[in-house]
Every structure is written in structure tokens, then in C-alpha cells.
Amino acid sequence: MHPKEFHTRFLLLDSPEELSGADAALLASARQAIGMSYSPYSRFKVGAAARMVSGALVQGSNQENASYPAGICAERTLLSVAATLYPGEPIDTLAITYQGEGSSDVPITPCGICRQSLSEFQARTGKPMRLILRGATGPIWVFEDAGALLPLAFGAGDL
């Protein structure tokens, strides 16, 4: 037997003032994208914004449906927009934030399907994607590589 471990490293910031100007603006853009959320069932609004390698900005928000499995998370909405408008271009940094009916001072992390989608997007574009995660208030988590959220990811090489 050979025990193995996974360790995830991220930067913990106390406030947006600790971010670079470009990253603070990206987080503000994600916050703005919350306004495009269609979430009448969960009332859990998620906004995402990405800065492409070229510097272009893309936004996405969660879109629910009365047939719950038909909804799509903000991250996958954003990835679809980015892949359509900027085919083959990597995302440099992706910011995600949310507003719920209760307390929203804990950074949001992508769901399992979104983690898989982020992992595959960065694999196919060949560049690690930084993630900036935050609630409406509170601390900010910065990951240098989206793959850190999904160790042992299933990918094209597994097929």
C-alpha cells in the first residue's frame, strides 16, 4: 500500500483592495453579471466574468428552468460564450461571485459539473485558468489553476 495525498493551494485575501486593479475590475464585472441571472426557483444568483488572454471580457450568469436539469450554471454559460466568441482562445482569469437570500460572505466554488467543464476548457486551450472566488462580502480565494479544484479529472485521454 502506498498512501497518497492531494493538497490544494490558494491565496486568501481579506478584501478586493488586495487584488490588482485588473482583478478587482473582473470581480466587479462578475458581481454585475449577477443582474443577468434567471433564478426564480432557487433565488441563488451567480455571476461570472472572464478575462480572455487577449484582454477581452466575457460574462455569464446562471439560467434556471422549471425542469431543473435543464438549467445551466454561470460558469458553463460563460464557457459557452467564451468558446463561441473567441474560439480556441484561453481564459486568463475567471471570477465567480453570488448573492443568495441568506448570508453570502463565503466564497462560492463551482459545482462538480462546472469543475469538470473548467478542467476540460483549460486542457483544450492549453493554459491554466486562474480563479477568483468570492461571496457578496467576505474573503476572496484565488487559485492559480482551475485544475486544483478537481484532482484526478476525467479527460479526453481517458476515453
- CATH number at 123 reads 3.40.140.10
pLDDT for position 55:
97
Q: Look up the domain containing 49 and give its range.
A: 12-150
Is residue 38 in a domain?
Answer: yes
Domain count of the fold of the chain: 1
In this predicted model, what pLDDT tens digit does every residue of 85-131 receive, in sequence order? 999 999 999 999 999 887 788 999 999 999 999 999 999 999 999 99
Is residue 91 in a domain?
Answer: yes
In this predicted model, what pLDDT tens digit does every residue of 19-40 receive, in sequence order? 999 999 999 999 999 999 999 9
Is residue 7 in a domain?
Answer: no
In this predicted model, what pLDDT tens digit does every residue of 138-149 receive, in sequence order? 999 999 999 999
Is residue 21 in a domain?
Answer: yes
* 75 flagged as catalytic: yes
pLDDT for position 47:
98
Quote the pTM value: 0.94
At residue 53's C-alpha, the angle toward residues 154 and 142, to 5°, is 65
Q: Which of 5, 75, 89, 101 is catalytic?
A: 75
Is residue 49 in a domain?
Answer: yes
Is residue 62 in a domain?
Answer: yes
